Structure 1
């Protein structure tokens, strides 16, 4: 190499130094399992949970409407009694049906509106929390890179994402009830507060506030008892139709019962559909109306970036405090420079 310098001076060339090619950085990104099929599988599960009870209720309504009407007519009320209760002067059965329908509509509408608003709040809280988690990862790379506790802080952030942020199946009260020694964010705050507290301390505090908001919005406000009461109101409402049909049981043609049975079956199916949709919204995870698939996509980049930094891939040639895009860009620039030097 030292002999090349005088030769280059004689011929007026720039000295060329043979630089060994740096080893390529292998970015092993861990794929989040079932990311692409989460939404499809959850949609199928929701369709099964909604469609099967709906079709079953519609089939039972069509198949047993005439039998129920005839049974009521033969054992409880005859045609004269039902006609009297349904007359314009009394209107007992129509008024009973109207009141029940109104109560069911009010309660079901309020339940749907409340649960849908809760889903919107959950989306907003998750976007804020994921943004704060990304800010924390960037600040850990800028402030704590090269320090002894850097890998521990990254590991705590990984534990937080795996056991807290993505655990939609765990009740929020159970997540927040953990002791401070089991809280990974508390461990990150302790690691970064040694000496003079940095901006990481404030970011962790903001992330904990975002987590509290997310857990608060995910807490169930509509109890399971409300679902049970909606089913009871729906059964009482549907029971009035065979009672009205019992008035036409005597001397009625079978075609009339077929038409009434088809309409009653459609009403049973529609009512069950409304109840099942409300129940799907009531679930915290595992359905098409939940945030599982969206959350998996939201934390995709954060998880891959965190895994890359935590793996410590090629630490002598890669500045892990930089985002992955800048790291890849710098590696490409280095390769271009090395290729240019070899072709001179």
Structure 2
């Protein structure tokens, strides 16, 4: 009996110990087989995600470049329009207003200096001397002004053709220089020489062509490209540089002023002589009431027309700065070339090359 009483607490302790151990032990985990599938890498070359990213980046860059080009073209066009308005429209308006305001005063002043017989001759003009004088002077002015306008317009046309040819040759030189010199130590120097040529030669419309052509060979960026790419004998870039120099010479020859400034001055003189004959006619008819007002209006229109023709001819005579010149077209042509030069220069810079660890 007493043995049974001793075994009961021992059995209870063992049962309690077993229950505590079972409750404290964590439940067994059920392992599940999971098959991992490799995801396509977004950085793998040629993957769809990479091509989409490239297209997105290229599209954004193209949009930014197009926006920059439009802004630059608008700025250049606005500057040229304002310059042309100041040099053409403003003198035309001033000449028109001055002709309308001062015609009657000038006619009355001329009448006050003439005697009665001379005034009677001016009124009758039996021999039509003044009319023949106006006809001859007007014909001379028309012939000279027309020939000057035609010559200057043909010169502008030649400049356009020369610029298109030269920019095409410059792009060919850039592509050939990249193919020949890419990866070589002097490749950045060759790109710098092309950039200097575009900036200091092709874009400089404000410098006389003869001064650009008289540059020393040591300061010629095209000569520097020849020395960089030639070792002993001329390289294959020589032919492209030769063609570019020929196009450059044609452009400089087309831009050289062939119509002298003295010709512009003589045109102004002929216009002044023709216009001064009208106040002389007005002096003979100043006694008729209301005639001077009508003649003042017609004389003002005539002054404005002559000034407009002369200023347009002088605007064509200018090398740059107006809507009749090649500034805007040259900027559009050179924009892509300069952008390509900048991108290739950044790619060829030492900081752009990957570093090895």
Query: What TM-score comes out, normalization by structure 1 length?
Result: 0.81
**Aligned mate of 2:317, from 273, 279, 282:** 282
**Aligned mate of 1:187, from 215, 224, 241:** 224
Superimposed CA distance per residue, residues 77-116 of structure 1 (whole angstroms, 9 cap, x where no aligned partner): 54x4244357565222111111111111111001100000
Match of 1:48 in 2: 86
1:310 aligns with 2:345: yes
Superimposed CA distance per residue, residues 304-336 of structure 1 (whole angstroms, 9 cap, x where no aligned partner): 00110011264459xxxxxxxxxxxxxxxxxxx
**Aligned mate of 1:267, from 287, 296, 302:** 302
Q: 1:267 and 1:116 mapped to 2: Cα distance?
A: 24
Preserved contact between residue 190 and residue 228 of structure 2 (Cα < 8 Å): yes
Give matches, 1:287-298, under 5 Å. 287-298=322-333
Residue 193 of structure 1 deviates from its aligned partner by 1.7
Preserved contact between residue 123 and residue 285 of structure 2 (Cα < 8 Å): no
Match of 2:15 in 1: none
Give matches, 1:122-271, under 5 Å. 122-250=159-287, 252-253=288-289, 255-271=290-306
Pick the structure with more helix per residue: 2
Residue 18 of structure 1 deviates from its aligned partner by 6.3
Q: 1:14 and 1:200 mapped to 2: Cα distance?
A: 53
**Aligned mate of 2:97, from 35, 50, 59:** 59
1:97 aligns with 2:134: yes
Superimposed CA distance per residue, residues 234-270 of structure 1 (whole angstroms, 9 cap, x where no aligned partner): 00000000101111112x11x2211110000000000
SS at match of 1:66: helix
Preserved contact between residue 122 and residue 281 of structure 2 (Cα < 8 Å): no
Q: 5+ unaligned residues in a row in structure 2: which ranges?
A: 1-34
Residue 147 of structure 1 deviates from its aligned partner by 1.6
Q: 1:204 and 1:14 mapped to 2: Cα distance?
A: 57
Residue 49 of structure 1 deviates from its aligned partner by 1.3
Preserved contact between residue 168 and residue 284 of structure 1 (Cα < 8 Å): yes
Give matches, 1:12-31, under 5 Å. none
Superimposed CA distance per residue, residues 150-180 of structure 1 (whole angstroms, 9 cap, x where no aligned partner): 1111000000000000000001011111100
Preserved contact between residue 123 and residue 284 of structure 2 (Cα < 8 Å): no
Deviates more, 1:306-315 or 1:240-249: 306-315
Superimposed CA distance per residue, residues 268-308 of structure 1 (whole angstroms, 9 cap, x where no aligned partner): 00000001100100100111101011100001111100110
Residue 203 of structure 1 deviates from its aligned partner by 0.1
Preserved contact between residue 84 and residue 90 of structure 1 (Cα < 8 Å): no
The structure showing larger relative contact order (alpha-carbon pairs under 8 Å, at least 6 residues apart) is: 1
Q: 1:48 and 1:136 mapped to 2: Cα distance?
A: 40
